[in-house]
């Protein structure tokens, strides 16, 4: 792909920073917008970060006029499902309101393409797994609903302003950059792999929520996608849009599901340490199984995961976690 000028919101966060790294490695010119509410300055190469809230439409439009990006990759959002059940307004304000502000600035300044971080949470509790993009959209929490609403905004901005977009519905982003420099540092952390590492490092047992689901060992099944493969899906989506591709939605997952107990076993193999855990009751809102059918992304955008193997994902995550534990 030719060198492109790309604006990345949320580029100081976990997935955004990996994507910025890959974009720079592939020769693109990248500007990052992040208010550091959750991300870290150390995740972004010097001189690329503009510390802005995406709710500030005028500041975003000013930046776009100066930088003249050809497309936006939009990661900036709050991401904790449980918190969204307690504080829905924060999620709708930041995720929906922030996206509307960003789209308004794009229309004002003539930026015509967006790759959007959507989520498997738009499917809620799907009737079966693997999940196809044609499954019913039915979020079961405000976080997922905020993403459904942004997908709806995108449909209308295409219809009315000819702004084309790709919504990537990610399954469980995981792993770290293979060199071990960038990785997952959410605060609070809610994702399984870093929580398993924390249990090892602190000796505090992790609670496995439910062991009586209709799955091979009773624990929940999820699809873990390496963050580098996820980042690459964004770059392929950019190329697709910049070459005139129509707005669309794609699942990003491996198509393979793993139970929580299976994850514990592989973490123990990789680290050589026991994971202390206890079995607790089911957690409200957890689906027994969420596994992607990624065939649309593979066939339409020629996406091929490089790190589909779970052991590699956990090795990369451990390399980062064991060298960055506080």
Ligand X SMILES: NC(=O)c1ccc[n+]([C@@H]2O[C@H](COP(=O)([O-])OP(=O)(O)OC[C@H]3O[C@@H](n4cnc5c(N)ncnc54)[C@H](O)[C@@H]3O)[C@@H](O)[C@H]2O)c1
Catalytic residues: 143
Q: Which is nearer to ligand X, 98 or 305 (CB)?
A: 98
- Three-state SS at 211: coil
The answer to whether 77 and 127 have CB atoms below 8 angstroms apart is no
DSSP 235-257: HHHHHHHHTTPPPEEEEES-S--
Listed ranges 27-35, 213-221, 242-250, 293-301: which one lies at the site for ligand X (CB under 6 A): 27-35
CA dihedral of residues 134, 227, 14, 238 (deg, nearest 10): -60
Q: Which of 24, 55, 107, 261 binds ligand X (CB under 6 A)?
A: 55
Q: How far is the CB of 83 from ligand X (least distance, A)?
A: 12
324 binds ligand X (CB under 6 A): no
Q: Which is nearer to ligand X, 188 or 203 (CB)?
A: 188
Q: Which of 84, 129, 167, 172 binds ligand X (CB under 6 A)?
A: 172
Strand order in the sheet with 221-222: 258-259, 221-222, 289-290
193 binds ligand X (CB under 6 A): no
Q: Which residues in 171-323 belong to E strands, given as ranges? A: 172-174, 206-209, 221-222, 224-226, 248-252, 258-259, 277-280, 289-290
Gap between the Cα atoms of 285 and 41, Å rounded = 33
Listed ranges 69-77, 103-111, 150-158, 271-279: which one lies at the site for ligand X (CB under 6 A): 69-77
Q: Which is nearer to ligand X, 146 or 259 (CB)?
A: 146
Beta-bridge mates of residue 115 = 73, 166
Q: Which of 3, 26, 37, 304 binds ligand X (CB under 6 A)?
A: 37
234 binds ligand X (CB under 6 A): no
14 binds ligand X (CB under 6 A): yes
133 binds ligand X (CB under 6 A): no
Q: Which of 19, 84, 99, 117 binds ligand X (CB under 6 A)?
A: 117
CA distances from 10 to 90, 164, 183 (A): 17, 20, 15
Gap between the Cα atoms of 252 and 173, Å rounded = 9
Query: What phi, psi does 10 have (nearest 5°)?
Result: 70, 25
CA distances from 260 to 120, 310, 318 (A): 18, 12, 17
79 binds ligand X (CB under 6 A): yes
98 binds ligand X (CB under 6 A): yes
292 binds ligand X (CB under 6 A): no
Listed ranges 29-37, 134-142, 242-250, 287-295: which one lies at the site for ligand X (CB under 6 A): 29-37
70 binds ligand X (CB under 6 A): no
Tokens found for residue 180:
């071990």
Q: Which residues bind ligand X (CB under 6 A)?
A: 9-10, 12-16, 33-39, 53-55, 75-77, 79, 94, 98, 117, 119, 170, 172-173, 186
């Amino acid at each position: 792909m030719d060198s492109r000028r790309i604006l990345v919101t949320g580029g100081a966060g976990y997935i955004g920073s990996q994507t910025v790294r890959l974009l720079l490695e592939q020769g693109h010119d990248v500007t990052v917008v992040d208010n550091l509410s959750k991300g870290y300055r150390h995740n972004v190469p010097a001189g690329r970060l503009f510390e802005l809230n995406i709710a500030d439409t005028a500041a975003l439009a000013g930046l776009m006029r100066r930088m003249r990006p050809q497309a936006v990759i939009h990661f900036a959002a709050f991401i904790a499902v449980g918190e969204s059940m307690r504080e829905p307004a924060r999620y709708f304000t930041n995720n929906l309101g922030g996206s509307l502000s960003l789209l308004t600035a794009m229309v004002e300044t003539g930026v015509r393409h967006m790759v959007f971080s959507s989520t498997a949470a738009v499917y809620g509790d799907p009737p079966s797994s693997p999940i196809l993009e044609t499954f019913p959209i039915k979020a079961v929490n405000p976080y997922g609903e905020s993403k459904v609403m942004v997908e709806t905004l995108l449909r209308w901005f295409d219809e009315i302003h000819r702004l084309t977009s790709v919504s990537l519905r990610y399954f469980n982003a995981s792993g770290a950059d293979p060199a071990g420099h960038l990785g997952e540092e959410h605060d609070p952390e809610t994702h399984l792999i870093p929580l398993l590492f924390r249990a090892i490092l602190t000796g505090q047992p992790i609670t496995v929520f439910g062991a009586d689901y209709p799955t091979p060992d009773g624990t929940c099944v999820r699809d873990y996608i390496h963050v580098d493969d996820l980042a690459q899906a964004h770059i392929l989506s950019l190329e697709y849009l910049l070459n005139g591709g129509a707005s669309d939605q794609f699942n990003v997952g491996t198509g393979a599901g793993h139970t929580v107990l299976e994850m514990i076993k592989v973490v123990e193999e990789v680290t050589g340490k026991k994971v202390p855990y206890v079995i607790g009751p089911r957690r409200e809102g957890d689906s027994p199984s969420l596994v992607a059918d990624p065939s649309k992304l593979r066939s339409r955008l020629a996406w091929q995961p490089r790190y589909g193997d779970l052991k590699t994902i956990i090795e990369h995550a451990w390399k980062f976690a064991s060298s960055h534990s506080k």
